[in-house]
Amino acid sequence: MHDTHLFKSIISYLESQENKTSRKIKKVHICLSEFGSLKRDHFLEHYSQAVCGTRWESLEVVISTIPFGSELEITGLEFERINGG
Ligand SMILES: [Zn+2]
Protein backbone atom coordinates (compact mmCIF):
# COMPACT_ATOMS: atom_id res chain seq x y z
CA MET A 1 0.00 0.00 0.00
CA HIS A 2 2.99 2.24 -0.57
CA ASP A 3 1.12 4.69 -2.75
CA THR A 4 -2.07 5.15 -0.76
CA HIS A 5 -0.98 8.46 0.65
CA LEU A 6 -0.10 9.75 -2.79
CA PHE A 7 -3.54 8.96 -4.18
CA LYS A 8 -5.29 10.49 -1.20
CA SER A 9 -3.27 13.63 -1.84
CA ILE A 10 -4.27 13.70 -5.49
CA ILE A 11 -7.95 13.35 -4.64
CA SER A 12 -7.85 15.97 -1.91
CA TYR A 13 -6.08 18.29 -4.35
CA LEU A 14 -8.87 17.76 -6.91
CA GLU A 15 -11.50 18.38 -4.24
CA SER A 16 -9.81 21.58 -3.13
CA GLN A 17 -9.70 22.82 -6.72
CA GLU A 18 -13.40 22.11 -7.16
CA ASN A 19 -14.23 23.93 -3.95
CA LYS A 20 -12.08 26.85 -4.95
CA THR A 21 -13.63 27.25 -8.40
CA SER A 22 -17.13 25.86 -7.67
CA ARG A 23 -16.83 23.85 -10.87
CA LYS A 24 -16.62 20.14 -11.51
CA ILE A 25 -13.42 18.66 -12.85
CA LYS A 26 -13.95 16.39 -15.83
CA LYS A 27 -10.38 15.66 -16.80
CA VAL A 28 -6.99 15.64 -15.14
CA HIS A 29 -3.61 15.63 -16.86
CA ILE A 30 -0.85 13.84 -15.04
CA CYS A 31 2.78 13.69 -15.93
CA LEU A 32 4.93 10.80 -14.74
CA SER A 33 8.68 10.60 -14.87
CA GLU A 34 9.84 7.94 -17.28
CA PHE A 35 12.55 6.84 -14.84
CA GLY A 36 10.49 7.21 -11.69
CA SER A 37 9.33 4.27 -9.63
CA LEU A 38 5.72 4.79 -10.60
CA LYS A 39 5.00 3.52 -14.08
CA ARG A 40 1.89 4.31 -16.05
CA ASP A 41 0.18 0.93 -15.59
CA HIS A 42 1.07 0.83 -11.94
CA PHE A 43 -0.26 4.32 -11.48
CA LEU A 44 -3.55 3.43 -13.18
CA GLU A 45 -3.89 0.28 -11.12
CA HIS A 46 -3.67 2.24 -7.88
CA TYR A 47 -5.70 5.08 -9.25
CA SER A 48 -8.64 2.88 -10.17
CA GLN A 49 -8.54 1.32 -6.71
CA ALA A 50 -8.42 4.74 -5.08
CA VAL A 51 -11.42 6.12 -6.96
CA CYS A 52 -13.47 2.93 -7.02
CA GLY A 53 -16.92 3.61 -5.63
CA THR A 54 -16.29 7.35 -5.36
CA ARG A 55 -17.57 10.16 -7.52
CA TRP A 56 -14.09 10.40 -9.08
CA GLU A 57 -14.64 7.10 -10.82
CA SER A 58 -15.82 8.83 -14.00
CA LEU A 59 -12.98 11.32 -14.07
CA GLU A 60 -10.95 11.17 -17.24
CA VAL A 61 -7.22 10.79 -16.67
CA VAL A 62 -4.64 11.66 -19.30
CA ILE A 63 -1.13 10.46 -18.56
CA SER A 64 2.00 11.62 -20.25
CA THR A 65 5.58 10.82 -19.43
CA ILE A 66 8.64 13.02 -19.30
CA PRO A 67 12.23 11.80 -19.27
CA PHE A 68 13.24 14.04 -16.37
CA GLY A 69 11.47 15.89 -13.64
CA SER A 70 9.22 15.18 -10.71
CA GLU A 71 8.03 11.64 -10.32
CA LEU A 72 4.43 12.76 -10.52
CA GLU A 73 2.97 16.10 -11.38
CA ILE A 74 -0.56 17.26 -12.06
CA THR A 75 -0.05 19.34 -15.15
CA GLY A 76 -3.59 20.37 -15.95
CA LEU A 77 -7.22 20.27 -14.96
CA GLU A 78 -10.23 20.59 -17.23
CA PHE A 79 -13.47 21.72 -15.75
CA GLU A 80 -16.98 21.06 -16.95
CA ARG A 81 -18.51 23.94 -18.79
CA ILE A 82 -20.89 26.07 -16.86
CA ASN A 83 -24.41 25.75 -18.32
CA GLY A 84 -25.06 28.34 -20.95
CA GLY A 85 -21.38 29.23 -21.20
ZN1 LIG B 1 2.12 0.18 -5.88
Report pLDDT digits (tens) over 46-60: 999 999 999 999 999
Distance 6 CA to ligand 1 centre (A): 10
Distance 16 CA to ligand 1 centre (A): 25
Provide the residue ranges of all domains of the chain, joining segments of one domain with +: 4-79
Report pLDDT digits (tens) over 1-23: 567 888 999 999 999 999 999 99
Helix/strand/coil (H, E, C) string of 44-68?
Answer: HHHHHHHHCCCHHHHCEEEEEEECC
Most confident region among 16-30, 40-54, 68-82 by mean pLDDT: 16-30
Closest CA to 42 of 11, 71, 85, 13: 71
pLDDT at position 2 is 64
- Please report, as a single letter, which amino acid is at residue 42: H
Averaged pLDDT, 71-75: 93
- CATH architecture for segment(s) 4-79: 2-Layer Sandwich (3.30)
Averaged pLDDT, 26-45: 92
pLDDT at position 4 is 81
Distance 5 CA to ligand 1 centre (A): 11
Distance 77 CA to ligand 1 centre (A): 24
Distance 38 CA to ligand 1 centre (A): 8
Distance 82 CA to ligand 1 centre (A): 36
Could you tell me whether strands 25-33 and 72-79 are parallel, antiparallel, or unpaired per DSSP bridges?
antiparallel
